[in-house]
Amino acid sequence: MKKFNVVILGATGAVGIEFRKILLERKFPIDNIRFLGLSTVGKEFDFGGRKVKVEPVADGCFKGFDIGLFSAGGDISKKVARRAAEEGCVVVDNSSAWRMDPGVPLVVPEVNPDDVDWHKGIIANPNCSTIQMVVALKPIHDAARIKRIVVSTYQAVSGTGLKAIEECMIQMKDIVNERPISQRKVYPHQIAFNALPQIDVFLDNGYTKEEMKMVNETKKIMGDDSIRITATTVRVPVLYGHSESVNIETEKKITPDEVRELLKKAPGVTVIDNPAKGEYPMAINAAGKDDTFVGRIRADESIPNGINMWVVSDNIRKGAALNAVQIAELMIQKGLIK
Question: What's the pLDDT score for residue 38?
Answer: 86
- Domain 4-126+320-333 matches domain 130-314 at the CATH topology level: no
pLDDT tens sequence across 36-54: 998 889 999 999 999 999 9
- Segment 323-328 shows an average pLDDT of 98
Q: In this predicted structure, what is the pLDDT of residue 148? A: 98
244-260, pLDDT tens digit by residue?
A: 999 999 999 999 999 99
- At residue 1, the pLDDT reads 81
Rounded to the nearest integer, the mean pLDDT of the chain is: 97
pLDDT of residue 39: 84
Arithmetic mean of pLDDT, 13-30: 96
Q: pLDDT by residue (tens digit) across 105-138?
A: 999 999 999 999 999 999 999 999 999 999 999 9
Average pLDDT over residues 68-96: 96
Residue extents of the structural domains in the chain: 4-126+320-333, 130-314
- In whole angstroms, how large is the CA radius of gyration of the chain? 20
* Domain 4-126+320-333 CATH (choose: 3.40.50.2020, 3.40.50.300, 3.40.50.720, 3.30.70.20): 3.40.50.720
Q: Is 119 one of the annotated active-site residues of the chain? A: no
The pLDDT value recorded for residue 85 is 97
Kindly name the residue from 119, 128, 141, 168 that is annotated as catalytic: 128
**Residue 17 confidence (pLDDT):** 95
Question: In the annotation, is 61 catalytic?
Answer: no
- Domain 130-314, CATH number (from 3.40.50.2000, 3.30.1490.20, 3.40.50.300, 3.30.360.10): 3.30.360.10
What's residue 66's pLDDT? 98
